Structure 1
Amino acid sequence: MQPQESSIQYSRWEGSSRDGVSVASGPGAEEASGCKRVSRKLCSGKLGISLKVLGGVALFWVVFTLGYVTGYFVHKCK
């Protein structure tokens, strides 16, 4: 059985008498959620950059197509 590691984070609010202390036990206790792991994988590194570029290109073509179709019907000769 391995000993559990714990991480302690201390934050102090300026101009206030409140201090915040959070204790997370175990390695990677913050990463317990599967959604956080998936989003960290898809939103960082080379994969994240390529997904953002592909998403931007796809969004451009969707907006371009909607504008083209809308302009066609608005300016259509009767």
Structure 2
Amino acid sequence: MEPQERAVQYSRWNNSQDQVSMNVSTTESSDCERVYNKLCTGKLGIAMKVIEGIFLFWVIFITGYVTGYYIHKCK
């Protein structure tokens, strides 16, 4: 992976107004950025978050159920 080149210039002395200019070279996005943009944005991103939330709910529910069963089991 190559780091992106960024240049920030802050010019306060030229005018009475502050000026900030940024130049970001976006030649090519990395694989991670492409996967993130595909899976975490838009309608697919919303669907993924809903599925993750349901999955996490069931994992916590089953873990609590099994833990409670063994803690409160009659001897």
Measure the CA separation in 1 of the matches of 2:22 and 2:35.
27
Q: Which runs of 5+ in 1 are unaligned?
A: 1-7, 13-18
Paired residue for 1:10, among 8, 11, 14? 8
Measure the CA separation in 2 of the matches of 1:37 and 1:68.
39
Paired residue for 1:42, among 39, 43, 64? 39
Identity of aligned residues (%): 52
4+ residue runs over 2 A deviation:
8-12, 19-23
Residues 1:71 and 2:68 aligned together? yes
Question: Counterpart in 2 of 1:29?
Answer: 27
Measure the CA separation in 1 of the matches of 2:63 and 2:43.
30
Q: Which runs of 5+ in 2 are unaligned?
A: 1-5, 11-19
Instruction: Return the TM-score normalized by structure 1.
Output: 0.65
How many equivalent residue pairs?
A: 61
Deviation at 1:34, TM superposition (A): 1.2
CA gap of 1:11–1:56, structure 2 versus 1, over 3 A, is farther
Measure the CA separation in 2 of the matches of 1:49 and 1:71.
33
What RMSD in Å do the two structures reach over aligned CA positions? 2.6
Question: Counterpart in 2 of 1:58?
Answer: 55
Instruction: Return the TM-score normalized by structure 2.
Output: 0.67
Measure the CA separation in 2 of the matches of 1:56 and 1:62.
10
